[in-house]
């Protein structure tokens, strides 16, 4: 089974073609604002490297957030249009799950993404990947309060948090992420939608 | 000659649209998912909300379009996509969708400027004849464009500030009309008399427009009447405003037609739906003895069919884009 993995929820492009739990081609690179321009060309290069055609993909796993709103939509649009047009299964995972799973440390994982104005997108998982705090948009100070009683934990992030200790950089282990989620129940491509975990400012100001 | 089927995708503002057009003229199927009812609550388009709806709707719109056409991706010769100008977050959804289909099905990708799409909406009715003058009037654009051939655009002039449609929407808001206000002003105008004095914008020797002064004049007039405790005669103000704005459009169009010895005139863009503007353009072109073409109402607002129609001629011209095509919020028509 050949799986296309795609995560454009941050300033990085994380993508791979995985065949029977083996990575055939992979991209892990920071592109900042130019993800809309580079994502499909880099995917095309992966296919050339893997020596397969775009129609020879059996399943798509896509990260649906949280993270950069525009970034999430880029990857998700590609993934849902791809899956819809070929009628192949698609499934979504949280960026925060991918971050936690990629860690090698036997401890509590707290993946966090800067959401500005003192807020973060965060979740807490134990060493067995059991979710202790579900993915949410939360004040960093409140998150610190929530986790203060944990003894052995690490924050996982690629953003700058000068005031935090026990921080590890996020380096995706895509082979492991795909292995973990390859059997996850597929969803209808029409229902594949971003998990922003936050309303737009216009909607918030109406509340 | 083999028939050419173009899939056109348009997501530059608040409509998610896909269409399949045969040979640039025959509309096979069009689907438009409009967000007007969503943005109405905010008095205008909220970009982040628009983007969120595009990503939610895109595959459903594509699927419905193919079902209506009773076709599949393999039947398509090329994919035409609006790459700009427009709201960047909105454009990106259509763009990534088009690039993905181009990649998966190895079909040519054709970049279309949104205004070229509005102009080519006319070719869904009858083939364009050159040289022509395109009077582009929409929520984002007010331009006079001379075309000597397919995809040979020469911009004669444009608005120096607000677009005419933007001005309509703002005036509508002052009059307490719900977004989008343009069509409501047009409707209300039918019931009034042009009894309010408003300045005709930018009466000069250029091909340019300016609508911010007219907008301010309306706002000030309403404010002053309120201060005096006078009721605004809304229908009269609507017709007075339309008269001044349309006179600006037609006076510059008249100058361009005469100066450039134009024989064919087309009107394009959302404001082309205005009955008053259609009538004024008919009167002008009749007087000057030149041909006029205005797209039917359904092609005036944003739609995939006009992008597919433009895409057909761009396809014949050999225009292609790579997968690194990016969305542009601003771009010159060429």
Per-residue pLDDT of B17-75, as tens digits, reads 999 999 999 999 999 999 988 898 888 899 999 999 999 999 999 999 999 999 999 99
pLDDT at B203 over 90: no
Average pLDDT over residues A54-68: 98
Task: Provide the pLDDT for residue B31.
Answer: 98
In this prediction, residue B187 carries a pLDDT of 92
Report chain B residues whose CB lies below 8 A from the CB of A77.
Answer: 55, 58, 92-93, 96-97, 100
Residue of A55, A79, A81, A196 to mutate, testing the B interface (most B Cβ within 10 Å of its Cβ): A81
Question: From CA A203, how far away is CA B138, in angstroms rounded?
Answer: 27
From the centroid of its chain, how far is CA B206?
Answer: 23
- What share of chain B in percent tops pLDDT 90? 87
- Whether residue B56 and residue A193 make contact (CB cut-off 8 A), yes or no, is yes
* Peptide bond connecting A66 to the previous residue in cis, omega within 30 degrees of 0: yes
In sequence order, what are the residues at sequence separation of 6 or more whose Cβ sits closer than 8 angstroms to the Cβ of residue B104? A54, A55, A82, A85, A86, B73
Q: Which two tokens stand for residue A186?
A: 């597929």
Average pLDDT for residues B193-207, to the nearest whole number?
A: 91
| Chain A residue with minimum CA distance to B89 | A70
What pLDDT sits at residue B17? 98
Distance of alpha carbon B199 from alpha carbon B220, whole angstroms = 12
What is the CATH class of A2-95+171-206?
Answer: alpha beta
pLDDT bracket for residue A206 (50, 70, 90): confident
Peptide bond into B153 cis (omega under 30): no
Q: How many residues does chain A have?
A: 207
Q: For A81, which of B51, B56, B100 is closest by C-beta distance?
A: B100
Instruction: Give mean pLDDT, residues A153-175.
Output: 96
State chain B's maximal CA–CA distance in angstroms: 70
If you average pLDDT over residues B287-293, what whole number do you get?
Answer: 97
Q: Are B10 and B303 in contact (CB under 8 A)?
A: yes
Confidence of residue A65 (pLDDT cuts 50, 70, 90): very high
Instruction: Write down the pLDDT at residue B202.
Output: 86
Pairing of β A90-93 and β B109-113: unpaired
**Averaged over B146-161, what is the pLDDT?**
96
Summarised one tens digit per residue, pLDDT across range A176-191 is: 999 999 999 999 999 9
Cβ(A140)–Cβ(A119) below 8 Å: yes
Which residues 61-90 in chain B show a CB within 8 A of chain A?
62-63, 73, 89
What is the pLDDT, as a whole number, of residue B41? Answer: 85
How many other CB atoms are found less than 10 A from the CB of residue B26? Answer: 12
Residue appearing with tokens 């009721």: B231
Written as six digits, the tokens of B171 are 């005036």
Q: Can you give the pLDDT at residue A56?
A: 98
| A174 neighbors B43 (Cβ within 8 angstroms) | no
- B268 CB contacts (<8 Å, ≥6 apart)? B115, B118, B119, B121, B122, B134, B135, B136, B137, B138, B295, B300
Phi and psi (nearest 5°) for A122?
-155, 160
* Residues of B with Cβ-Cβ distance to A188 under 8 angstroms: none
With tokens 């905010």, the residue in question is: B42
**3-state DSSP assignment of residue B7:** strand
pLDDT at A49 over 90: yes
- Beta-bridged to residue B105, according to DSSP, are none
Calculate the CA dihedral of residues A167, A173, A177, A178 and round it to 10 degrees.
Answer: 170
**If one looks up domain A96-169 in CATH, what number appears?**
3.30.420.200
Minimum CA–CA partner of B323 in chain A: A41
Owner of token pair 């073409």: B293
CB contact under 8 A, B59 and A54: no
pLDDT the model gives residue B43: 83
Domains of chain B: 5-121+299-316 (3.30.420.40), 129-294 (3.30.420.40)
Q: Which of B103, B322, B325, B327 should we substitute to test contact with A (largest number of A Cβ atoms within 10 Å)?
A: B103
The per-residue pLDDT for B334 is 84
Mark out chain A residues that contact chain B at CB-CB < 8 A: 34, 36-41, 43-44, 54-55, 69-70, 73-74, 76-78, 80-82, 84-86, 189-190, 193-194, 196, 200-203, 206
pLDDT band at B83 (very low <50, low <70, confident <90, very high): very high
State the average pLDDT over residues B198-217.
Answer: 92
Q: Which residues contact A161 (CB under 8 A, 6 or more apart)?
A: A112, A114, A140, A155, A167
| Distance in angstroms (rounded) separating the CA atoms of residues A14 and A9 | 9
| Spans of all domains in chain A | 2-95+171-206, 96-169
Q: Which pLDDT belongs to residue B2?
A: 93
| Count of Cβ atoms closer than 10 Å to residue B148 Cβ | 11
Chain center to CA of A88: 20
Over range B196-219, report the average pLDDT: 92
Q: Which of B111, B323, B328 to mutate to test the interface with A (most CBs of A within 10 A)?
A: B323
User: Which is more confident, B41 or A194?
Assistant: A194
Q: How is residue B195 written in tokens?
A: 């009894």
- Span A149-157, mean pLDDT? 95
Is A113 within 8 Å of A12 (Cβ atoms)?
no
Taken in order A61, A64, A67, A73, is the CA torsion positive or negative?
positive
Same fold, A2-95+171-206 and A96-169: yes
To which H or E segment does residue A136 belong?
A: strand A131-139
What is the average pLDDT across B272-280? 94
CA–CA gap between residue A120 and residue A114 (Å, rounded): 5
What average pLDDT is seen over chain B?
95
Is residue A41 pLDDT above 90, yes or no? yes
Average pLDDT (B274-300) is 95
Nearest to A44 among B73, B103, B105 (CB): B103
Structure tokens at A188: 């209808």
Reference A69, options A137, A167, A2, A132; nearest CA is A137
């Amino acid at each position: 089974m050949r799986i296309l993995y795609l995560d454009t929820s941050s300033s990085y492009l994380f993508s791979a073609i995985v065949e029977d739990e083996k990575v055939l081609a992979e991209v892990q690179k920071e592109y900042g604002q130019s993800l809309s321009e580079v994502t499909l060309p880099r995917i095309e290069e992966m296919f050339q490297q893997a020596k397969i055609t775009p129609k020879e993909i059996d399943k798509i796993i896509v990260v649906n957030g949280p993270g950069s709103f525009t970034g999430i939509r880029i990857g998700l649009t590609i993934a849902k249009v791809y899956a819809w047009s070929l009628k192949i299964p698609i499934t979504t995972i949280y960026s925060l799950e991918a971050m936690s799973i990629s860690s090698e440390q036997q401890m509590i994982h707290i993946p966090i993404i800067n959401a500005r104005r003192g807020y973060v997108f965060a979740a807490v998982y134990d060493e067995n990947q059991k979710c202790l705090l579900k993915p949410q948009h939360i004040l960093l100070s409140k998150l610190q309060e929530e986790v203060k009683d944990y003894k052995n934990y690490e924050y996982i992030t690629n953003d700058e948090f000068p005031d935090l200790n026990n921080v590890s950089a996020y380096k995706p282990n895509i082979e492991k992420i795909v292995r973990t989620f390859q059997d996850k129940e597929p969803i209808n491509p029409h229902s594949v939608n971003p998990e922003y975990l936050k309303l737009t400012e216009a909607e918030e100001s109406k509340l | 000659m083999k028939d050419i089927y173009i899939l056109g995708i348009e997501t530059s503002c608040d409509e998610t649209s896909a269409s399949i057009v045969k040979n640039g003229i025959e509309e096979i199927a069009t689907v438009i998912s409009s967000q007007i009812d969503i943005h109405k609550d905010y008095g205008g388009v909220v970009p982040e909300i628009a983007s969120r709806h595009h990503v939610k709707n895109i595959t459903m719109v594509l699927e419905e379009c193919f079902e209506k056409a009773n076709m599949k991706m393999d039947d398509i010769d090329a994919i035409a996509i609006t790459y700009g100008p427009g709201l960047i977050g909105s454009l990106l959804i259509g763009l990534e969708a088009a690039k993905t289909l181009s990649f998966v099905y190895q079909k040519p990708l054709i970049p279309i400027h949104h205004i070229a799409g509005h102009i080519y909406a006319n070719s869904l009715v009858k083939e364009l004849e050159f040289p022509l003058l395109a009077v582009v009037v929409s929520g984002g654009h007010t331009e006079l464009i001379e075309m000597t051939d397919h995809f040979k655009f020469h911009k004669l002039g444009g608005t120096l500030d607000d677009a005419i449609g933007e001005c309509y929407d703002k005036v509508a808001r002052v009059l307490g009309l719900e977004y989008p206000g343009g069509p409501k002003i047009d409707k209300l105008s039918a019931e009034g008399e042009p009894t309010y004095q408003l300045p005709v914008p930018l009466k000069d020797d250029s091909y340019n427009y300016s609508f911010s002064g007219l907008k301010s004049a309306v706002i000030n007039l309403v404010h002053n009447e309120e201060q005096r405790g006078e009721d605004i005669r809304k229908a009269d103000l609507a017709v007075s405003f339309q008269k001044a704005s349309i006179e600006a459009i037609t006076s510059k169009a008249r100058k361009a037609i005469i100066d450039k010895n134009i024989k064919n005139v087309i009107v394009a863009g959302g404001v082309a739906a205005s009955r008053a503007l259609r009538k004024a353009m008919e009167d002008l072109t009749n007087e000057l003895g030149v041909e006029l073409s205005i797209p039917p109402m359904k092609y005036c607002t944003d739609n995939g069919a006009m992008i597919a129609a433009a895409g057909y001629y761009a396809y014949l011209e050999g225009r292609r884009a790579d997968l690194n095509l990016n969305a542009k919020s601003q771009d010159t028509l060429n």
